[in-house]
Amino acid sequence: MSENCQDLNCLAGIRVVDFTQFEAGTSCTEALAWLGADVVKIENPKTGDPGRRLRPGKPDDDPWYFHMFNANKKSLAINLKSPRGLELVKEMLKKADVTVENMAPGTIERLGLGYDEVKKINPRIIFCQIQGFGTGSKYENGLAFDMIAQAAGGTISVTGEPDRPPVKPGPSFGDTGTGMLMTATILGALYERQRTGKGRRLQVAMQDAMIHYMRTCFATQARTGKAAPRRGGKSGGGNNSPSGLYQCKPLGSNDWVYITTSRGNPDHWGRLMRLIGRKELIDDPRFATGAARIEREAEVDAIITEWTRQHTKEEAMALVSGVG
């Protein structure tokens, strides 16, 4: 195995006290664990992380949902409402580099473990909070799961067919997407602490995180003066053809390949036409420019589909990748 493919231990020696549950917070702390941090998950002695019960698993094991977001962690069952439990956790926080929580708004403070209290015992700690909505928002006390974050943050509004209701994207951008942004923020704070010697309070709101994934949609709005439309399987900008999903053999429910050409590189159209045996269309005035192809998008799609239906998606992808 190449040296660059060895296990990452960039965060070896970094101690993380993990108060997270479900997915947004747990995906963040799991990423820190993957990078070598020593992550200790604090769980309710009676019920554990709710993710342990969220979906059925084997009778003698936790469900796959829980495993997906809690790999590489240690776990301690501590009653945070008992004096002894609180004492134990504070001892851990004194020695910790990072702590992360995504409890309901105000819960960590009511437990006596809010930032103002924790920084008194450890001014170097990176204190991280994942919330549904930003502090100061009229929704700041609201709870949020992935689908709420995606609806409030806008990703659902641009997903689906143009003439149909919006659709929630399959991946959990609201949960795991937020967790990954918090992970990056923590890495920045740890780097800053090397220079300043001081900790920091970090907050990432799930609604705000979705805006991060909407930037191309905002670019479309700035260009057109209108909210970005739903485009189904088409390129979100709506200014490129061909760009979309094309059916492949054997025509099963997932036998599709995504093919796109770049408006920034006019040669893509010519390369694609030569590949599919239609080089006579390269200079055809009906399709010779990007603008012309957009006007005849349905015809372009039919031309591409005629070719892709002769190949499996793996064959089509390999052939298209070979021509650049």
Q: Are residues 195 and 106 in the same domain?
A: yes
Q: Do the domain assignments include residue 237? A: no
Average of per-residue pLDDT across 260-278: 91
Q: Are residues 174 and 312 in the same domain?
A: no
Structural domain that includes position 274:
243-323
Q: Do the domain assignments include residue 80? A: yes
**Region of poorest pLDDT, from 86-90, 153-157, 196-200, 262-266:** 262-266
Average of per-residue pLDDT across 176-200: 98
Q: Are residues 254 and 208 in the same domain?
A: no
Instruction: Work out how many domains the chain is built from and give that number.
Output: 2
Please report the pLDDT score of residue 61 as a whole number: 83
Q: Do the domain assignments include residue 232? A: no
Q: Are residues 44 and 193 in the same domain?
A: yes
pLDDT class of 324 with cuts at 50, 70, 90: low
Q: Do the domain assignments include residue 284? A: yes
Q: Do the domain assignments include residue 62? A: yes
Q: Are residues 81 and 201 in the same domain?
A: yes
CATH number reported for the structural domain that contains residue 292 in this entry: 3.30.1540.10
Please report the pLDDT score of residue 1 as a whole number: 42
In whole angstroms, give the CA distance from residue 43 to residue 73. 12
For 28-58, what is each residue's pLDDT tens digit? 999 999 999 999 999 999 999 999 987 776 7
Q: Are residues 201 and 273 in the same domain?
A: no
Please report the pLDDT score of residue 258 as a whole number: 96
Average pLDDT over all residues of the chain: 94
Q: Do the domain assignments include residue 249? A: yes
Q: Do the domain assignments include residue 231? A: no
Q: Are residues 49 and 181 in the same domain?
A: yes
Query: Domain ends where: 169, 191, 212?
Result: 212
Q: Do the domain assignments include residue 53? A: yes
Please indicate whether residue 49 is annotated as part of the active site: no
Average of per-residue pLDDT across 174-200: 98
Please check the confidence at residue 141 and state whether its pLDDT lies above 50.
yes
The closest of 240, 259, 251, 270 to 317, measured between CA atoms, is 259
Q: Are residues 262 and 148 in the same domain?
A: no
> Secondary structure of the chain in the HEC alphabet?
CCHHHCCCCCCCCCEEEEECCCCHHHHHHHHHHHCCCEEEEEECCCCCCCHHHHCCCCCCCCCHHHHHHCCCCEEEECCCCCHHHHHHHHHHHHHCCEEEECCCCCHHHHCCCCHHHHHHHCCCCEEEEEECCCCCCCCCCCCCCHHHHHHHHCCHHHCCCCCCCCCCCCCCHHHHHHHHHHHHHHHHHHHHHHHHCCCEEEEEEHHHHHHHCCHHHHHHHHHHCCCCCCCCCCCCCCCCCCEEEEECCCCCCCCEEEEECCCCCCHHHHHHHHHCCCHHHCCCCCCCCHHHHHHCHHHHHHHHHHHHCCCCHHHHHHHHHHHC
For 214-248, what is each residue's pLDDT tens digit? 999 999 999 999 999 999 988 766 678 999 999 99
Q: Which of 38, 146, 175, 208 is catalytic?
A: 175
Q: Are residues 32 and 138 in the same domain?
A: yes
Please report the pLDDT score of residue 5 as a whole number: 60
The model's pTM is 0.89
CATH number reported for the structural domain that contains residue 88 in this entry: 3.40.50.10540
Q: Are residues 255 and 204 in the same domain?
A: no
pLDDT class of 263 with cuts at 50, 70, 90: confident
Please report the pLDDT score of residue 2 as a whole number: 55
Q: Are residues 49 and 183 in the same domain?
A: yes
Average of per-residue pLDDT across 197-222: 95
pLDDT class of 124 with cuts at 50, 70, 90: very high
Query: Domain ends where: 196, 212, 228?
Result: 212
Q: Are residues 185 and 313 in the same domain?
A: no
